[in-house]
Amino acid sequence: MELAVLTGQRRDDIASMLFKDVRDGFLHVVQSKTGARLRISTELRLNSVGLDLSTVIKQCRDRVLSQHLVHHAQASGRAKAGQPVVLDTLSSAFAEARDKAGAKLGITFGRQPPSFHEQRSLAARLHELEGRDAQKLLGHRSAAMTDVYRDSRGAEWIDVA
């Protein structure tokens, strides 16, 4: 989840990230949907959540040998330790963490709780608040597509004087 909020990448691209893609001070991402080629600095920092990409990548390294940044830390069902996490597992792990956090904070999400993909929108908005170009980060060719991700879905207050 930290990779998703920091990089603003799609679930497929998060699951496909490899340690060998981290080189020369950048995380190299070729987006599966569009083919956009991004070099995201490992110095990328999101102050609002207190995370930087270099530290998050280091945390992906654990006592399990794996090529994948996001992988199983231990055997689970058919998956062996070190194997990549499948997309549905990524989504369900996010949903479980979301629900636990919501329960702890007394938040109810209603009929349409945030999905893993909503982190992409959150990343766009947080990075823009810190002065970064969300369109470049998300790998969009058009500003109109990025505008869809900038939408807070009615979560922000509108001031009327």
How would you label 65-84 residue by residue, b for 16+ Cβ within 10 Å and e otherwise? ebebbbbbeeeeeeeeebbb
Tokens at 122, concatenated: 């959150």
pLDDT digits (tens, 9 = 90+) for 64-108: 899 999 999 888 888 899 999 999 999 999 999 999 999 999 998
Per-residue model confidence (pLDDT) at position 83: 92
Residues 26-45 have pLDDT tens digits of 999 999 998 999 999 999 99
Instruction: Give residues with Cβ within 8 angstroms of 113, minimum separation 6.
Output: 95, 98, 99, 102
> In the chain, what are the domain boundaries?
2-150
CATH C-level class of 2-150: mainly alpha
Amino acid present at 62: D
Catalytic residues: 10, 33, 117, 120, 140, 149
